[in-house]
Amino acid sequence: MTDDAFLRFLGVAPNASEHDLLDLPRGPATDKQINDALGRQQQRVRSHPDGASPAAQRVLAALTVAAQRLRKLSAPVQPGIAPPSPVKPLDPRRPRRPQVPTHGTAAAPPQVRPIQLTSFDRRVLAILVSQGGWNARSRARLVSLASEVGLSIDGLMTVMTGLSSVARTSGHRIDVRQITGGQERMPAMFATPPVRYAPPDPVEVDAQRWRRLAWTSGVVCACLIMLFVTIQLLTPDRAIQTTPDPPPRELVSTPALDVDDAHPPRSGRAELLFVTASMPTFGGNARPDLATTSADGARDAIDYLNLVARKLSINDTPSDAVYRDFEVSITTLGHAWILLDPATRDAALDAIGAVFQQVGARPSASDRLLRALTPTDARGSEPLSIWLGAYQIHTLARIGTSDALPEPVVRDARTELRDILAFSKSAGQPTPDDAARIWLTRQLGTLVERTETDPRAFDRWELWLAAIDDVSVGPRYDRAIGKAIQTVMESDTDLGRLGPSLNVLGRLLSQIGLQDRPAVRQFVLELFENPDVKSRDLWVMTSLLAQHGGAGWFTRDLVPVEDADSRQRITVREALAMQWPTRETISAHLTDTPEIRVDEALRMRWLELADRASQLDSIGDDERRLALIVVTARLNAIASALARDFEAETMGWLTDVDLLITSLEKNQQLQPPSVASYGGTSSRSGNRSGQAIGRDGEWAQQYDAVRGRADEKLRLMRMLRTSAGSDLGPTDAAVFVREVYTGSPSEVRGEAQANLISIFGAGPNVGLEMVRQYRMRSMPRETARVIEQYVGQVLPDPRDPAWRAEARRELLRYVLSIRRSAYDTQQQRASAMVDWIAAVYAQHHEVVKGAIGITSLDGMPDDRASQLRLIWRAEAEQLIASDPTPASLAVLDRRDLTRRELVEGPMQLFVVEQLALLDLLAYTTTAERPRRRAQVLQLLESGARERAAAQHVLDQSRAIEMVMLRIWAVRFDPGVTTDAGDAA
């Protein structure tokens, strides 16, 4: 069948190369040549008498795929390679193949006379198709349609029965072209933005309806103009500022300033509005011909997929044609999937699954098939590439979440998806809808970029909106639209000038509701804080919402001035946040059911330990302060583990913390755990002990006595290998180290240096002398290398100006690590405590990532806390906060940056990381349990007071950990709140 189709429409064999399919000469071709060739060939197919048949659609899809491949091949032209010689598009080097007559071929489908549908029939069918068949939604719309034309329910049922009977008995399948009546795109000037959740009716509107609409519109416009003029005449203090060229503005009277006014004009007030008669919008073609014809060919594509599966099952080395059939089928389905009913989509998915089922043990085949699911033409000239790309990603994600497919296929699909979406492994596997939505939002940059210049920009937006509507509902849909609005607002285009971008903005704004959408509230408020959004654009957007947003509470006072500064923006934002009817309309109806269910026994144990930890006295030395941070940080890590169902692990950890708290209650020192218990390696591990043997000074005396005799010096140096221990006495060490730095001849110095590394590496006396005799100014290269070996650190080149400070610092640190005074022991214990805090945070990070047991101790606590913060931040982004607490994520980010400006030293940096974590925990908790907001705010405030009163940075650090513990307790609380925040 395929063979016939290719021969029939293009005169080429089915396994012809891409060049042959597109009738292009061999060799590289430019994008323009490919596009021209594609256009020519598509025209050839469409002008064929069977140009609308499914077979023709398969050929058209194959042409698209061939063009994509050629574009991919020709894209990376290396510099230096001779560019392809240009080919005149209308004068191909190869003669055209004669067109094969098609009439009378055996494969030609039987010609069936299409049934004649009335306009009403088409509308009924369109509703059934768009709503996925007979269901509650389609029923409601059909009843509405019937009442619109004055038809009774019985009459409607009669029509439907008739349509059903014709479809069943005539043997002719009603295709999309018939349903739509071959409708072309609506003129933009008459287009009405589709209502959210109610896609526009695709049925061709007959002339009578258009006339009625035009007449009604005229009457409405006339009424509006009269009303407007009347208002202006009756309101003397209003004046119109007419600005013919954009932006149109209306001067709204501003109350006279009075010093008695309770609200002095410190902030910007909306004095001018960006006035439009109606919400700007556009009407793109949401059903291009290629989509509708591909929808007609969807069944055939599914059949081909099943055929591909069968071929793969019997042939280990399938031909290229098999892969191309797969690719063409995916392209056909991808171009049409938004128009397909759920049953067809499921059938397509089953067929794709069957294909991958067959290639489980053949990675090369799997790779090749998966490549067909990789979007390649997202920036291409064909607007439908948006649907195709989303379908490919959707399918890829479906494979990645499949339990039934072979594991290697699933794994490869996940990897591919991660690569495309630039996800990290820890981000988890997105659902198919989420993956498609993420991919679609990634296309926004290109869409916005092209809006002002691309003549098909509205088509692209229309297709994007249809796709995003398909893969997201509720808050996810709102967030996607919000992202689109944000991208438009962040563009360089002046939205105050009439143009496509303004139309797109208006259309997007008409997709959102201002009443009961927490996600909408959140992203609108965040636009005020977004430094990439110009105040003028913000003024335009809020003006549109104030005029046409359909929310009475969104008054003109909520429109910032055109050139608002940051503080004016914040002021208006706060006013908007207050007026947005969130708490009254949403929170009042919110239940406070905890989202996290924790085993009650574990929760009680954790609470008991948290209570005991809070009562530990912080008076003491730095080591105790550090120990208190270790304990509270561990309890917070355990809380995270409980929240993520690591209940088995938490039992052991709770016991550990119990012991730690008991030790601290008894004022005992904590024993930092060995590195092995965290499964990692420590840079500080393995200090060697040094011990001197023999009487101090004897060796030095002998050595000084042989001054000038190199052989004797060498002998005495070698003698140390057998007679000395791992250290020397202070006098011997002084002489020995002198020879390490300045021994002469060089053989003696080399011998001393070898002894230093091999014997006295851990000797405290030798170490002290190494520090004392260190030259502050210059150092021979070989001695510099010996110091590097001695301290066990990679140092800069000795010629580097940084060398002297770094080498000396590392020498000091190393020697301090091998000394054994009480001070040194205390410092080493404190250092071990710091490592412990880092390890606790590392473990917390791994709990959140879901990969316990691979902790390493590299890095400082602030580094570890930073890693944890990044994950918490990403998780918080996924939440819908009806009233973000303590602030929106954008504000929290900015607050975090401000805090960093005041940081001095690593401990303060850790405190700042902790504060960011605290904010994110509060944000998450209140997003999950909005009615606990007051409680959480109270905890934050008391924590801030405690920090302000603290006298030591480590006390501040512990105070933050304690507030986090209290907020975790709120998050875990199983009690349901029924009033303003108290648990029932």
Partner 1 sequence: MKHAQQSRTILPLMVLLMTSLTFASSIDRRPVAERLRALTPNDPMAYFELAEDLVDSPDSERDRELAQQLFGLAGALSPDLLGRSAALALADVEEDPGQKRRLLALADLLAESRPGLQPRSSRARSHVDPAAAYAVATALHEFRNGYGPRAIRALEQVGATELLTTADDALRGGARRFIEDCNLYRGGQRPSLSSGEISSLMHLEAALLAGNDLTWTDELSLRGGVTYIEVDPEQLEQVFDVNADRPFYREGTWRTSATGR
Binding of partner 1 by 260 (CB under 8 A): yes
C-beta closer to partner 1: residue 468 or 834: 834
User: What are the strands, taking DSSP E only, across 564-615?
Assistant: none
Binding of partner 1 by 861 (CB under 8 A): yes
Binding of partner 1 by 863 (CB under 8 A): no
- Alpha-carbon distance of 964 to 844, in angstroms, equals 13
User: What are the strands, taking DSSP E only, across 174-278?
Assistant: 249-251, 272-274
Residue matched to tokens 């004897």: 698
Binding of partner 1 by 822 (CB under 8 A): yes
C-beta closer to partner 1: residue 70 or 834: 834
Question: Total number of residues binding partner 1 (CB under 8 A)?
Answer: 71
Which pair of tokens denotes residue 714? 């060498």
Residues 830-859 that bind partner 1 (CB under 8 A): 830-831, 834
Measure Cα distances from 501 to 366, 479, 491, 530, 540 in Å: 42, 19, 9, 19, 12
What b/e string do you get for 818-834 counting C-beta neighbours within 10 Å, with b at 16 or more? bbeeeeeeebbbbbbbb
Site stretch for partner 1 (CB under 8 A), options 54-62, 690-698, 873-881, 903-911: 903-911
Q: Which of 237, 797, 904, 979 binds partner 1 (CB under 8 A)?
A: 904
Residues 522-541 that bind partner 1 (CB under 8 A): 529-531
Residues 749-788 that bind partner 1 (CB under 8 A): 768, 771-772, 774, 776
Quick check: 437 and 480 in contact, CB under 8 A? yes
Contacts of 220-226 with C-beta under 8 Å, sequence gap 24+, read: 224/277
- Alpha-carbon distance of 550 to 515, in angstroms, equals 9
C-beta closer to partner 1: residue 807 or 881: 807
In whole angstroms, the minimum distance from the beta carbon of 524 to partner 1 comes to 16
Quick check: 68 and 14 in contact, CB under 8 A? no
C-beta closer to partner 1: residue 125 or 807: 807
How many residues can be counted in the chain?
Answer: 984
C-beta closer to partner 1: residue 726 or 908: 908
Binding of partner 1 by 629 (CB under 8 A): no
Quick check: 951 and 614 in contact, CB under 8 A? no
Q: Which of 107, 897, 976, 980 binds partner 1 (CB under 8 A)?
A: 897
Residues 905-944 that bind partner 1 (CB under 8 A): 905-909, 911-912, 915, 944
Binding of partner 1 by 561 (CB under 8 A): no
In whole angstroms, the minimum distance from the beta carbon of 515 to partner 1 comes to 28
Binding of partner 1 by 899 (CB under 8 A): yes
C-beta closer to partner 1: residue 40 or 894: 894
C-beta closer to partner 1: residue 168 or 266: 266
Coil/strand/helix, residue 296: helix
Site stretch for partner 1 (CB under 8 A), options 490-498, 588-596, 890-898, 967-975: 890-898
Q: Identity (one letter) of the amino acid at 633?
A: A
Binding of partner 1 by 793 (CB under 8 A): no
- Alpha-carbon distance of 488 to 544, in angstroms, equals 15
In whole angstroms, the minimum distance from the beta carbon of 892 to partner 1 comes to 12
Site stretch for partner 1 (CB under 8 A), options 139-147, 412-420, 649-657, 811-819: 811-819
- Alpha-carbon distance of 538 to 527, in angstroms, equals 8
Binding of partner 1 by 954 (CB under 8 A): yes
- Alpha-carbon distance of 861 to 578, in angstroms, equals 39
C-beta closer to partner 1: residue 197 or 823: 823
Q: Which stretches within 706-802 are classed as H helix?
A: 710-723, 730-742, 746-758, 764-772, 781-791
C-beta closer to partner 1: residue 30 or 908: 908
- Alpha-carbon distance of 323 to 316, in angstroms, equals 13
Binding of partner 1 by 261 (CB under 8 A): yes
Residues 268-297 that bind partner 1 (CB under 8 A): none
C-beta closer to partner 1: residue 81 or 257: 257
Binding of partner 1 by 947 (CB under 8 A): yes
* Cα 517-522-523 angle, rounded to 5 deg: 105
- Alpha-carbon distance of 577 to 574, in angstroms, equals 5
What b/e string do you get for 385-410 counting C-beta neighbours within 10 Å, with b at 16 or more? bbbbbbbbbbbbbbbbbbeebbeebb
In sequence order, what DSSP letters do the residues of 321-351 get, joined into one string?
HHHHHHHHHHHHHHHHGGGS-HHHHHHHHHH
Binding of partner 1 by 894 (CB under 8 A): yes
Q: Which of 622, 658, 696, 863 binds partner 1 (CB under 8 A)?
A: 622
Binding of partner 1 by 566 (CB under 8 A): yes
Residues 699-728 that bind partner 1 (CB under 8 A): none
Q: Which of 82, 136, 189, 259 binds partner 1 (CB under 8 A)?
A: 259
Quick check: 348 and 333 in contact, CB under 8 A? yes
Site stretch for partner 1 (CB under 8 A), options 253-261, 279-287, 321-329, 390-398: 253-261
C-beta closer to partner 1: residue 449 or 623: 623
Binding of partner 1 by 805 (CB under 8 A): yes
Q: Identity (one letter) of the amino acid at 22?
A: L
Quick check: 918 and 963 in contact, CB under 8 A? yes
Residues 436-495 that bind partner 1 (CB under 8 A): none
Quick check: 193 and 279 in contact, CB under 8 A? yes
Site stretch for partner 1 (CB under 8 A), options 275-283, 441-449, 480-488, 893-901: 893-901
Quick check: 612 and 947 in contact, CB under 8 A? no
Site stretch for partner 1 (CB under 8 A), options 41-49, 240-248, 339-347, 804-812: 804-812
